[in-house]
Structure 1
Amino acid sequence: MNPYLIREVTDKKEIEKVVEFQDVIWNKRNTTPYPFLIASLHNGGILIGAFIKEELVGFCYGFPGFCQNEVYLVSHMMAVQEEHRDGGLGYKMKVKQKEIALKQGYKKIMWTFDPLESRNAYLNIAKLGGIVKTYYPNHYGIMNDELNGGLPSDRFLLEWDLKKSSVDCIPAEEQIQSCISWEMVEDMPSPLSLEINFNQVDYYKIPVPKDIHKIKERDFVIAEKWRFQLRDAFKHLFDKGFRLEAFQTTNNLVNYYIVSSV
């Protein structure tokens, strides 16, 4: 039985709960304040809450965006209580966000996420069907909070077409060329060299650690290598017109992004 009630949040007392929830999750850093949430919700913003009875255990928030004559929802924040993670709650909140966004007339939702966060990549690309064509190096500057750990804050810009089915198609292995080699250092994956030969190959795969946080705790230099190798790979590929549209999980300590020219 699903214990969660997932619904839109508009009541002022519940909006205050979201602000308090942010303070707990992010230690009062990088939070969206109450007045901004109120103003946003009165002007096209959407706030989703996940509840167990009256307790808030997760939220998802987005505000309206506009660029080049296109209106879309910017999904700015999502968080889940630690004990409720890995149970599909993030996916359920995104589905509810999509449902409400469509009712409000949105056709696309966009948001940024860290390319090194394998768990987020699986949700955003493999499960929801978003695509990535844009890479922002050090998007927010150096963020010395617990989550970012002092690494440059590189971000993907994910685009989620709400009218498109979320089918994540992985091409046959013989069609994909690897462009970053890696090795084991102690029991951690560490990137080696970047090699991209643009020779009529339609698909490339790029490894990403399954748990970058453990690597940051144990060897910051290796974590930093992953940051810069992925940055170089994606900037080269996106500049050539490739786009990221699939994510492959494995039994190793890395998963793979799959980029396509078609």
Structure 2
Amino acid sequence: MPNLSAIPLHGESLIGDAAFREAAALYTRVFRYEPTEYSLNPNLLSALAKNGGSAVGVHDGDRLVGFAYGFAGRDRSGHEFHYSQAAVVDPDYQGRGVGRLLKTCQRKVALGWNQHRMRWTFDPLLARNAHFNFAALQAEGTGYAVDYYDRPGTDRIVVDWALDRERDPFADIRGLPSPAFGPDDRGRLFEAVEDGRRIARIPLPSSVNDADASTGALRARIRDSMQRVFDAGLVLVNCTRIDDDTAVYLAGEDMR
């Protein structure tokens, strides 16, 4: 397991209607969800917390600065897991380890429900999120979901995190250095064989503006490249920033 060291904030499971309402308000404010259909029902959080799910928060004193929630899941193959639907951090506290602490709290809750894996999804254009998932938590990207929320522009990478393994099966390749890539390479797939293992890389901008006219074309290239990665049986294991403008996904062959 990675070392998820303590920070000068405290995380815990949320209890009670007032806590759930505060969490729902933080969720709506940070994600800027104005239409009511995207808001979060405090009653749902209460029910999840009592029935195999999680509703956890990080506080600075009495102030809620981070919140995550999830539920018990099962895929079509019968694999059971804790599904983390969303995690949100107050903008004033981003970059201070709140995300790690939220995932640590969710992990504790999931193991308490005898759930030994956690899954979630994230936008493939968010390099910072990808780095946290793969480098910090040592999770893996195991699938690509097109229009995950049944709306255009909601493609997601599926993340799988083993909650109680003792050894990282991708430790030998997570830190592989990346060659240099230029702007014209972004979203394209680059394949190689290194130390006898198939490797793939996909460069992308280190940050993306959805209002940019070129973002749609970039999303299409990344979709194609990611689908080829997973069709080849590879697993995403890292996303690292190689310069001020460029980050690179790294995928490798699962040798287990």
TM-score (norm 1): 0.82
1:127-166 equivalences under 5 Å are 127-142=136-151, 152-164=153-165, 165=167
C-alpha distance 196-44 of structure 1, shift in aligned 2 (>3 A): same
Contact 2:148 2:154 in 1 (8 A): yes
Deviations 1:213-249 (A, max 9, x none): 3xx34xx222112211111111112111111112223
Provide the rounded CA distance (Å) in 1 between the counterparts of 2:109 and 2:44.
20
Amino acid at match of 1:152: G
**What SS class does the counterpart of residue 120 from structure 1 fall into?**
helix
- CA shift for structure 1 position 22: 1.8
Amino acid at match of 1:54: D
Deviations 1:185-213 (A, max 9, x none): xxxxx556846568886111111211113
- CA shift for structure 1 position 99: 2.0
- CA shift for structure 1 position 133: 2.0
With 236-245 and 197-206 compared, the bigger mean Cα shift is at 197-206
1:39 equivalent in alignment to 2:47? yes
1:150-229 equivalences under 5 Å are 152-164=153-165, 165=167, 169-170=173-174, 172-173=176-177, 182-183=182-183, 191=185, 194=188, 202-213=198-209, 216-217=210-211, 220-229=212-221
Corresponding residue for residue 66 of structure 1: 74
Aligned residue pairs, count: 240
Aligned partner of 1:106 among 93, 108, 115: 115
With 162-171 and 63-72 compared, the bigger mean Cα shift is at 162-171
Corresponding residue for residue 33 of structure 2: 27
Deviations 1:129-148 (A, max 9, x none): 11112101222244xxxxxx
RMSD over equivalenced CA pairs, Å: 2.5
Identity, in percent, stands at 22
Corresponding residue for residue 240 of structure 2: 248
C-alpha distance 69-83 of structure 1, shift in aligned 2 (>3 A): same
Corresponding residue for residue 86 of structure 1: 95
Any stretches of 5+ residues in structure 2 without a counterpart?
Answer: 1-5
- CA shift for structure 1 position 170: 3.1
C-alpha distance 125-172 of structure 1, shift in aligned 2 (>3 A): closer
**What SS class does the counterpart of residue 213 from structure 2 fall into?**
helix
Provide the rounded CA distance (Å) in 1 between the counterparts of 2:99 and 2:179.
32
C-alpha distance 123-208 of structure 1, shift in aligned 2 (>3 A): same
Provide the rounded CA distance (Å) in 2 between the counterparts of 1:192 and 1:24.
32
Deviations 1:84-124 (A, max 9, x none): 00111101111121122212211000001001011110111
**What SS class does the counterpart of residue 212 from structure 1 fall into?**
coil
Provide the rounded CA distance (Å) in 2 between the counterparts of 1:134 and 1:108.
15
Any stretches of 5+ residues in structure 1 without a counterpart?
Answer: 143-150, 184-189
- CA shift for structure 1 position 2: 4.2
Amino acid at match of 1:133: T
Contact 2:188 2:202 in 1 (8 A): no
Provide the rounded CA distance (Å) in 1 between the counterparts of 2:141 and 2:43.
32
